[in-house]
A and B are shown apart, each in its own frame.
Chain A
Amino acid sequence: MTVDSVTIALVGSGGAGAMTAGQMLLDAAANVGWYGLMSRSTGPQIRGGEAAALVRLSPTPVHGPGDRFDIIIAFDWQNVERFAAELPLSDKSVIITDPSQGEVPAVLAASGAKQVELPIKELAGRIPGGRVNMVGLGAVAAIVGLPRAGIDAVIQKALGKKGDAAIQASNAGIDAGSKEAAGWNLGLELAAPNKEGATRWNISGNEAAGLGALKGGVKFCAAYPITPATEILEWLAPNLAKTGGKLVQAEDELASIAMCLGASFSGVPSITATAGPGLSLMTECIGLGVASETPVVIVDVQRGGPSTGIPTKSEQSDLNIAVYGLHGDAPHLVVGPTSIGDCLFTTQWAVHLAEALQTPAIVLSDQAMGQSRAIVDKPADAPHKANRLLATDLGGEGKYLRYANTESGVSPAAIPGMPGGEHTADGLEHAENALPSSQASDHQKQLDKRLRKLTSYDYGDAWADVEGEGEIAVVTWGSATGPSREAVRRLEAAGTKARLVAIRLISPVQPAKLAAALDGVSKVLVVEQTHGAQFHKFLRGHYDLPGKVSVFSRPGPLPIRAREVHETLLSLI
């Protein structure tokens, strides 16, 4: 008998190598043709300390965390209480534990999970240069039926530079672990992989966002590190350089966004990435981008808030500041990727939209997507590129109207280097010729124009992922999409048709499109990861939702699981 999905936690204090083993497991699974997802759970300490690699493997694409862990393998139990809440177990789970590390902690044992002993330390100790994480990897591989060839390739790639001794030690560890586990028959063998179909990628949400920036045509990035957004900046640093762009480390987020505006004013598509506290600091300059009609993209990888909150854990609670955080009437773009792979498309699209509409675009990613790594089908190539509407007719000296009140609302831009286009871009309200103005008529005209260019643009089908049919619909966004999609599919598998609407274009809102997507629906469930039901209130404020509307909303840091959404849906039927 085989299973469709296995969820595994590898736990151990710093140095045990749990993360490395988790990564190797994911890579090996990818090699043999499985899909997978790995997120990390780390404590507040910067290095060392307890850590868990949370891996889910399946023959089909994985959308979110599993309902429960099927396997926990612990190299030690140090501080595991601190994140026990992130390790839901049931009596069907298996805890693999090293007897030399003491009893299974009561918080985990209480689940009734089966316990299996594996003398991990002792086995590793018998091998010269042996490491516990390789013994653990071997055991897990045997339990899920991961072919050895997949692991060999990973070991070769990871340790090739370290030489034969390192490779031999790893192989011996893996052999020792898998030999012990071979006889356990836990019934957790994964269904055969399907190697057919598209090329697969192994990518994290933060890397995907960086790649999306490159594909959109970004050539400048100003960076200030903040968890969980730093990996976007770190990925962009070398890759922007390789593609002829530049990344500069700024002194703070105020400078990051300001530098991006400067680069963009000079015609170079620009991006920065941050998390909640940084976004707060950027809002004044984002407003400058709106008023001066300077495109810029800001990726906000949301984390638990407010204030410094929980930097290493996910939440969707920056929605309000992203949409409403600017002072004045400041229409701008807000988009949210719906999966790890979609961080690529959505960021690329954001670059395109920001440039096309000459305004800031905020991409709301989150920790759960940004810092998780998944095996996905290679995302389709999207045509979206930075393509700013440049002024062509600059012959008449002094006649150029930077903020011309055009029908589309988009005014042809002149950038430095273009003779005849000299003007001063301004955050002060201005007339069409860019000169400061405090007249009511100029203010009205520019406000109208800046709104019109956003609302009259045709965003096509990308505004949302719309799937399924039926009278019940889940409306969601961001990384709540994965578990919602899985819940809807479970409902369908049991015979109840349901729809999923995952909104990608948060702002400007698309009332007609959502109405069409929800046509005939009698029950709506809104799913989000906030305490204040921000998304629900946002929908209520801007859309008519049909039928009875219910809300599943809870804060981080625990990820939303398909089971929770599924149970809520069942209670509504």
Chain B
Amino acid sequence: MDTHLTDDVVGPLPGDYKSDVKPIWCPGCGDYSVLAGITRAMATMGLERHDTVVVSGIGCSSRIPAYTSVYGYHTVHGRSLAVASGVKLARPELNVLIFGGDGDGFSIGGNHFLHACRRNVDMTYIVMDNQVYGMTKGQASPTTEADWCESKLTPEGPGVNPIQPVALALACGANFVARGFSNNPNEVARLIVEGVRHPGFSVIHILSPCVTFRPEQRNWKSTVHPYGREPTDDPNEAMRAVLEDDGFGLGIFLAGNRRPFQPESAATRSIAQIEEGFAV
């Protein structure tokens, strides 16, 4: 990789982590800025491109791996966390990041989310929440409001309460939980850097507007606000604060200290020795 001279640090630039592929996203989609935040975070950390793996499921947001220049695996809908866990458990030395949407992560992939949080493998999950299924053209997702009536599938509104990703992550035992807004790639980058550096499973919830199916989300600019407290390492305290928050507070809620899950193994026996156990 070429190295470049930035202000006063010698290191890679965000552009080094971008691929040549032009995103297929709609003009104005929040995911562009998230991508900018991601590549900025990678540059900040100076990740080796060949030692970094990004995994995604299916959805507009899950297209990100093709737009980066590290190793990537664009998998199937909902399974990204399980695939990524396999990568990290098998090769702990790799940097593993996962990208996806709210539908991918909390609906079809809900069970994997729950278990990824409790398993606490050292990897970072960036969920781009637009409270809608973008790729399949605008159906309600698990984070959509109960009375959102714009989907042909649920013309009367989904009629069920949205889940709160941050509270869910805390309840399931994620070790680092933060929220960002795509409009501010620098802040997104900072949260990702903190998440990657923090040992264990990090969940970065990013509000990322779908300008096509939820144009009103452009107003999120004026809805979001700093969460306003210092990160805690106490999940109970974090949960209390999150429940008091309106879902638009930005910052780091929890930087916990659970030990990451990483089974160690060392070869102590040859296969021939194991085989001997079968001899009559």
Contacts and interface: CB of A to CB of B under 8 A. Distances in A.
Given A258-B83, A270-B90, 4 more contacts: A262-B90, A415-B71, A419-B50, A425-B72
Contacts of B52: 416
Contact of B74 (A248, A264, A428): A428
B45 interface: no
24 contacts: A200-B280, A201-B278, A202-B279, A214-B271, A239-B269, A239-B274, A242-B268, A246-B263, A246-B265, A251-B114, A255-B82, A258-B75, A258-B83, A259-B86, A262-B86, A263-B91, A266-B86, A267-B91, A285-B76, A416-B51, A422-B50, A424-B66, A427-B76, A428-B74
A251 B265 contact: no
B239 interface: no
B280 A201 contact: yes
A244 B91 contact: no
A262 B111 contact: no
A449 interface: no
Contact of A220 (B49, B90, B112, B115): B90
Interface string B20-31: 110000000000
B82 A241 contact: no
Contact of A422 (B49, B79, B269): B49
Interface string B139-166: 0000000000000000000000000000
A265 B83 CA distance: 9
A547 B36 CA distance: 68
Interface in A298-318: none
B91 A241 contact: no
Contacts of B51: 416-417
B266 interface: yes
Interface string B62-87: 00011011111111101100111111
A378 B278 CA distance: 9
Interface string B165-209: 000000000000000000000000000000000000000000000
Interface in A263-279: 263-268, 270
A262 B87 contact: yes
Contacts of A200: 279-280
B34 interface: no
A215 interface: yes
B5 interface: no
B90 A263 contact: yes
- The interface centre, meaning the residue of B90, B263, B268, B278 with most chain A CB atoms within 10 A of its CB, is B90
A375 B278 CA distance: 10
Given A202-B280, A220-B89, A435-B66, A262 B271 contact: no
A140 B114 CA distance: 54
Interface in A119-170: none
Interface in A378-422: 378, 398, 415-422
A436 B56 CA distance: 14
A214 B273 CA distance: 12
Contacts of A247: 263
A243 interface: yes
B246 interface: no
B275 interface: yes
Nearest to B50: A419
A517 interface: no
A529 interface: no
A292 interface: yes
A223 to B, nearest CB: 12
Interface in B211-233: none
B9 interface: no
B10 interface: no
A285 B265 CA distance: 27
B55 interface: yes
A288 B77 CA distance: 11
Contact of A418 (B50, B86, B269, B279): B50
B228 to A, nearest CB: 35
B79 A258 contact: yes
A219 interface: yes
A220 B86 contact: yes
Contacts of A185: none
A25 interface: no
